[in-house]
Amino acid sequence: MSSYKGRVYLAPSGQWAFKYYIDDQEAGGGAGFKSEKEAKLGCKDVLQGYVAKPKIVVVKYEELPPLV
């Protein structure tokens, strides 16, 4: 069974954004949100296409894994 996770963060630009992961591999994201709440909702909307109750956490930008 696959795992689906979302990470919401405040980007260096000052806007909120999210990235989502499937089986710990970055699968996509969104940016340009005015608030943490909007970014969480955007992430939730995407992940609910895969799983009913997605796991979404707020992290610091510096804590995001580097792109491989």
Provide the whole-model pTM: 0.90
Q: Decide if 68 is inside a domain.
A: no
User: Is there a domain that residue 32 lies in?
Assistant: yes
* Domains held by the chain: number: 1
Q: Could you list the pLDDT tens digit for every one of the 68 residues in the chain?
A: 789 999 999 999 999 999 999 999 999 999 999 999 999 999 999 999 999 999 999 999 988 877 65
Tell me whether residue 45 is in a domain: yes
Q: Is residue 30 part of a domain?
A: yes
The confidence score (pLDDT) of residue 67 equals 65
Residue 68: the pLDDT is: 58
For 15-33, letters b (16+ CB in 10 Å) and e give ebbbbbbeeeeeeebbeeb
CA angle 34, 38, 39 (to 5 degrees): 90
In a domain, 8, yes or no: yes
Q: Tell whether 48 is covered by a domain.
A: yes
Say what the pLDDT of residue 39 is.
Answer: 98
- Domain extent at residue 11: 4-63
